[in-house]
Every structure is written in C-alpha cells, then in structure tokens.
C-alpha cells in the first residue's frame, strides 16, 4: 500500500463546492481506500491505496462526483513526494510566515510558458521557484496582493493546479507520517 496526499481543487472555498469532511472520509473508505484522513476543511485528504497515483486521482474525483455531487480535480502526491517538497523548501531563506508561503501543486510539469509568464511580472517583494511539478511562491503581502499569484491565477492552458500554504504542506507531511 502506498500512502498518498490527495489535494482537491476548490473544495470548501467560499460557498461553492461544499463537502463535509466526515462524508468525504466515509465515501472514500466505502470506495476501498484505506486509512483515510482529512486535514482542515479544504480538500486535503491522506489515504492508502494499492493503485498508482495516476489511478487514485480519477477514482477520488469519481467518488466525489458520484457520491457527493461535487466536481473537483484531484492532484495526487505520494508521501515521499510531499516530504521531498518540505525538504526542498527553496524559499525558506526568505519566507518567514508559513501562511504567506505557498506551494502550487500541478498535475503535470509546466511548460516553459510558466517561467516566461512569472519572469515577466513585476513581482515586487514576491519570490518564486519552480521545481518539477511545484511552484513555490513567497507572498509577503499575502496571496490576494501578490502580483505573482495574480498572474498565475489568470494563466490559461496550464496543468490542473491547487495551492496550499506552507503551514498546510507541513501538516500534510506530518499526517502522512515518517517512512
């Protein structure tokens, strides 16, 4: 069995796509996933499965659609991949507030267009780093006032993406346990 973090896009943000985490845990357990846990109320799921990550994401999406009536994309990472994100921490030397340090998890590796887009933005105090399928952004004035996050949010045609702040990423790593 492999331990996964399943990051659901847009769950329980504002009034849209509301899902009770207890219902989500129950439905995923009924669907055959094991050791299902959720973190916070915003679509962070940790579970075990014998399936590959490529199969876990669509299976979770189907359960959410069919059983809970909500459409949401799932971005999946193994426990080792989440721990590698925490260990990498490319902006740790400048990011001093985990609520303003964001990791955007992408379903696939972005093209060069992402670097071109972010490189063209007057970032002010913001900083970013792209590593594989993750975009790390330090937004010292918060995400709402971040020129980088604004540009990234308006980008079209890239991979499915969902973002978590650093505090949540670290809590996910803890919930996934040590190897």
pLDDT in tens, 81-126: 999 999 999 999 999 999 999 999 999 999 888 888 998 999 999 9
Give the residue from 171, 177, 170, 168 showing the smallest Cα distance to 11. 168
The pLDDT, as a whole number, for residue 7 is: 96
Q: Domain 81-176 belongs to what topology?
A: Alpha-Beta Plaits (3.30.70)
| Segments making up each domain of the chain, as ranges | 2-78, 81-176
- Can you read off the two tokens belonging to residue 27? 């439905």
Its pTM stands at 0.93
pLDDT level of residue 1 (50, 70, 90 thresholds) = very high
Rg (CA), the chain: 16
Residue in the structure block whose two tokens are 């499915």: 160
Mean pLDDT confidence for 33-43 = 90
CATH fold match for the domains 2-78 and 81-176: yes
CATH class for the region spanning 2-78: alpha beta
The pLDDT, as a whole number, for residue 27 is: 94
Tens-digit pLDDT profile for residues 56-77: 999 999 999 999 889 999 999 9
The pLDDT, as a whole number, for residue 179 is: 63
Report the percent of the chain where pLDDT is more than 90.
Answer: 73
The pLDDT, as a whole number, for residue 19 is: 87
Per the document, the length of the chain is 179
- Can you read off the two tokens belonging to residue 126? 């913001």
Cβ proximity of 7 and 77 under 8 Å: yes
The pLDDT, as a whole number, for residue 95 is: 97
């Amino acid at each position: 069995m492999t331990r996964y973090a399943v990051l659901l896009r847009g769950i329980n943000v504002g009034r849209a796509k509301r899902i009770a985490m207890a219902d989500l845990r129950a439905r995923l357990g009924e669907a055959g996933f094991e050791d299902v846990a959720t973190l916070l109320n915003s679509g962070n799921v940790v579970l075990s499965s014998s399936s590959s990550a490529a199969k876990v994401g669509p299976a979770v999406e189907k359960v959410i659609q069919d059983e809970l009536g909500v459409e949401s994309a799932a971005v999946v990472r193994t426990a080792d991949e989440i721990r590698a994100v925490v260990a990498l921490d490319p902006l740790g030397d400048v990011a001093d507030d985990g609520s303003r340090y964001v990791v955007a998890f992408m379903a696939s590796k972005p093209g060069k267009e992402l670097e071109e887009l972010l490189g063209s933005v007057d970032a002010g105090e913001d900083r970013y780093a792209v590593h594989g399928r993750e975009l790390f952004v330090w937004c010292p004035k918060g995400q709402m006032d971040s020129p980088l996050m604004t540009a990234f949010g308006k980008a079209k045609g890239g991979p499915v993406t969902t973002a978590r702040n650093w505090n949540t990423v670290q809590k996910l790593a803890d919930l996934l346990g040590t190897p």
